[in-house]
Amino acid sequence: MVRNGYGELQINNSIFSVLTIIKSWISAARLRTLPLSLSGIVLGSFLANAEGNFNFIILILAILTTIGFQVISNFANDYGDGVKGTDNQDRVGPMRALQSGEISPKQMLNAIIITGIITIIVAMFLIYVSFGKENIFYSVLFFLLGLGSIAAAVKYTMGKNAYGYSGFGDIFVFLFFGLLSVCGTYFLYVHSIDYTIFFPAISVGLLSAGVLNLNNMRDRESDAKSGKNTLVVKIGEEFAKHYHYYLLAAAFLFALLYVIIHYQSIWQFVFIFAFIPIFRHLYVVYNNKNAKKLDPELKKLALSTFLFAFLFGLGQIL
């Protein structure tokens, strides 16, 4: 009986250890960032569907590829900030995996490589389903864009010349989460592009840049101490707030412009409902005096961006 009890204890401890490891990796993957990264995929798919072009397999593969890119970015961010010492006791947000010691730098680096390989394989399937053997140029172009996306995800905080430490993160988020995500997804279905597609793509890009700006406002003091010169660190708290207002207001205006150009139904204005929580969020930012209180706003703005993408796209097919 004692042996059985001891054996059961060992099994329970082993199960607990495995569950702890799994929990650590799930936490490092930061799944709460996925709705934001998927916003462009959702919107691009809706816009293509509105023109009679849709393929469910492309949608699934595009989602899986985007999840891969986002997880790589989150792992790389954790690794880069961890080894540089940016994630320390001064950081306002939740504790990261390397910071807590739950995952070693070597383990995280291996995870980045493995996730990158898997994501490239999935991306190649996506490219083949979309373009087949006939459009070699498009296939090569999107393969290079995929490699560029991985490079951008990794170089945000990793390496000596990490662009996230020089204030260029906003530009890359705007380009990859907005223009490339929406327009690239749309092109996978349609194999052509209309200039007006860039308007809602700009909206998603600006909202995504707003999420990053909010994150950087929250971490401004700790980033400044550790030498992470984000745009917020460079321009200061007050200008960062004004920049935030302009990003979100401009996102609304570009979406409105697209609807005006392509107006067919009152349902196309349904996206306005997504901006109700966004404008309420602006009021919170305007009155904020404590960086810690900005952390819950990150989730709200990210989910509002996804809601915008869904409602805007839905409005085009109703």
Angstrom distance (rounded) from CA 80 to CA 97 = 12
pLDDT band at 1 (very low <50, low <70, confident <90, very high): very low
Percent of the chain whose predicted confidence (pLDDT) is above 70: 90
pLDDT band at 8 (very low <50, low <70, confident <90, very high): low
Angstrom distance (rounded) from CA 291 to CA 246 = 20
What is the tens place of the pLDDT at every residue in 220-252?
Answer: 888 888 888 999 999 999 999 999 999 999 999
Rounded to two decimals, the pTM is: 0.90
Angstrom distance (rounded) from CA 62 to CA 123 = 8
- Tokens 């986002």 locate to 70
What is the tens place of the pLDDT at every residue in 146-187?
Answer: 999 999 988 888 877 888 888 899 999 999 999 999 999 999
CA-CA distances (angstroms) from residue 161 to 96, 157, 164, 247, 304?
A: 22, 8, 9, 26, 32
Angstrom distance (rounded) from CA 86 to CA 169 = 16
Residue 133, helix vs strand vs coil: coil
Sign, Cα dihedral of 217, 221, 227, 233: positive
Computed over its alpha carbons, how large is the radius of gyration of the chain? 21
Average pLDDT, the chain: 89
What is the tens place of the pLDDT at every residue in 272-317?
Answer: 999 999 999 999 999 998 888 898 999 999 999 999 999 999 999 9
Asked if residues 54 and 192 have their Cβ atoms less than 8 Å apart, the reply is no
Angstrom distance (rounded) from CA 216 to CA 255 = 25
Residue 2: pLDDT over 50:
no
For residue 174, the Cα-to-chain-centroid distance in whole angstroms is: 10
Rounded (5°) CA angle 56-195-66:
35
State the pLDDT at residue 36: 94
State the pLDDT at residue 117: 95
CA-CA distances (angstroms) from residue 186 to 44, 147, 200?
A: 5, 19, 12
What is the tens place of the pLDDT at every residue in 69-83?
Answer: 999 988 888 888 777
